[in-house]
Each structure stands twice: as C-alpha cells, then as structure tokens.
Amino acid sequence: MESKLMDPFGRIHDYLRISVTDRCNLRCVYCMPEEGMQFEPTERILSYEEITSIVKALAPLGIRKLRLTGGEPLVRKGLDQLIAMLSAIPGIEDIALTTNGIYLAAYADLLKAAGLNRVNISLDSLKPERFASITRGGKVQRVLDGIKASQQAGFHPIKLNVVLMKGVNDDEVEDFLRMTLDDRIDIRFIEYMPIGDSGDGWRSGYLPLEQVLETCGASWNYEKSCGEVYGNGPADSYRIVGAAGTFGLIHPVSSHFCGNCNRLRLTADGNIKPCLYWSDEFNVRPLVGDDKAVQDLFYKALGAKPETHDMLKALNGQQIDGTPTLRHMSQIGG
C-alpha cells in the first residue's frame, strides 16, 4: 500500500523514528553536555503501550519502517517487549535500532528473537583513550563486543555511524575503511551537525566528507555501490573493490538530503517532529487511543514540514529562515 502521508512538497513518508528515552549511559560531545542535562521524569515518557498505539494508528496510512532511538534505547528496560509489540502490527515491515553498542553484547540475541531486523551502532573512534574522551567515559571494547554479538545474532546489515570531526578523529578514516574489507560491515561517515547548539563552537569541528574519498583513493580503488539499499539511509554509498562491506557519506549540512526525506520523528515525551533541525513540535500524547485524532495530528505536522533545513546557512554564518531547535540530539532521537 502506498503511503498516504505526503507533505506539501510531494514527499511520501513511510518511516517513523521513535525515541524511547532521552537518557543515555554516555555523554558524547556532539550529543549532550557533560553535566546539567534535565531529563524527563519517567511519567512524561511514552509507555510501550502508547508507542504501540500510535504506530497502530499510522500503519494504515503507510508507515512501514521504524527505527528505535534515544538517548540510548538499551538503557530502557524490556526493549525487546516493545519490539515484539511493534513487529506484530500488520504493515510494519522493518524495525531498526540505533545504539551506542555498550549493552548490545548482552541483548543482541534477545532483540533479534523479538523481531529486530537491523542495528546501527555509533562508533566514533577505535582508539580506547580517544573513544573515552569523545564519549566521556565509554569503553570501546564493549562496543566492539557488541558488533561481534550482532554479527553472531544474524543482523544484516550492521551499520557503524562515525561522526567525523576535524582534529578529533579524522586521522582514523583509513582504519574504519579497513573494517569493511573482510566483514559485511557498512561504515557511515556523518558530518558534524549543529543540533541543539545555540553557539558557533560546532563550526570548528565541522569537516566536509570529501576527505574520506581522498583517503580511500590513496590506498584502494573504490566504486559507487549500487547494491540493495537497506532501510532509509541518506548515504552516498561506496565499496572498496573486492571488499565485503561498504562505506557511505552522509552530508546533512553541505549537501542536505531533504529533497527525498521520508521520515517523521516521535520524541520520548510524545512530540511529533516534522524536521530534525527546526523547533516545530506537535504533542500527540493526549490523543493516544483516538486513532483518528492521532492520524489528523500527523497530517497537521506533515503540513508544517519545511522544504529544507538551513544547516549550511548556519555553517556559513548566514541568516536562517526559522527557529532551530534548542533540544539536544539525545532529546530528539536523531
């Protein structure tokens, strides 16, 4: 069934990103401040039953693909129960999880059995001390163990999200590319985004991703990857010739992918966000249980969706046309 969720610019939406918590066991430098975060009290977070009710209302409108995000989704107890509830909804074809991987080794088999199809794992450095610095205390070996457990559980594809930051981890590009040679791993290099940062400090860490292709070309031949596309990744995808895995470039700032955006976001506290960057939100929680009202509010949110974000203007110090969100990435769900 074709999605009925079309915005004013003709973009069809079949993908919902669901944040299940704003809490996290790490404090990555680009995601949330080291201290002073005000987390939502438990009673303000959508229950698994409320989330399931919202998805049941949206599936008849064409929502087919779900991604569970956070915060860190695995800090919330019983996530496998939510996955089982969502996978039982008629019309839902694909459920993915974005995680920092710290708890993944313990839960990979349980999540797979519940109906999870795919995992994206954040991994911004392979160097233990640097990883600990970026994440403010994380142990990279736990993430590597989580990747191995995901492979053994049978998840495919396994995508690794690398936020590339100038002067921080840009010297590790070749190390990440090597991971794709022998394993069916998909590395996704992501530009540093100005989400929830009202200052200009992010510009010093911003790095265009052309450097990845230059680094790759210095050591290997590579080609544009035209294989099966899993999920709704906005990456330009490549493969080192003969490699088992792929690598991709996600340019949310320098070459935004708004033109084919097919996603809506549901925050942990029950707000619909039509766009990651802008502040517009629509609180759906009071309507849960009334499927028609839930559907109508999603239509209203779609009607307010802008054609594009202004991250590139923000990078260049130009005047932007709206109000960017002041919520941190962990509060939005990415």
Q: How does DSSP assign 94-140, residue by residue?
A: EEEEEE-STTHHHHHHHHHHHT--EEEEE---SSHHHHHHHHTS--H
The residue written with tokens 């919902």 in the block is 16
Six token digits for residue 118: 């795919």
Please give the DSSP secondary-structure letter assigned to residue 266. Answer: E
Please give the C-alpha separations between residue 153 and each of 98, 161, 185, in angstroms, as whole numbers.
16, 19, 14
Within 10 angstroms of residue 119's Cβ, the number of other Cβ atoms is 26
151-162 pLDDT tens trace:
999 999 899 999
- For residue 127, the one-letter residue type is K
186-233 pLDDT tens trace:
999 988 765 555 455 556 677 888 889 999 999 999 999 865 444 445
> What domains can you pick out in the chain, each with its CATH number?
15-155+256-332 (3.20.20.70)
Six token digits for residue 25: 């066991």
27-67 pLDDT tens trace:
887 777 767 678 889 999 999 999 999 999 999 999 999 99
Cis peptide before 60 (omega within 30 of 0): no
- For residue 253, the one-letter residue type is V
Q: How far apart are CA 33 and CA 22, in angstroms?
A: 13
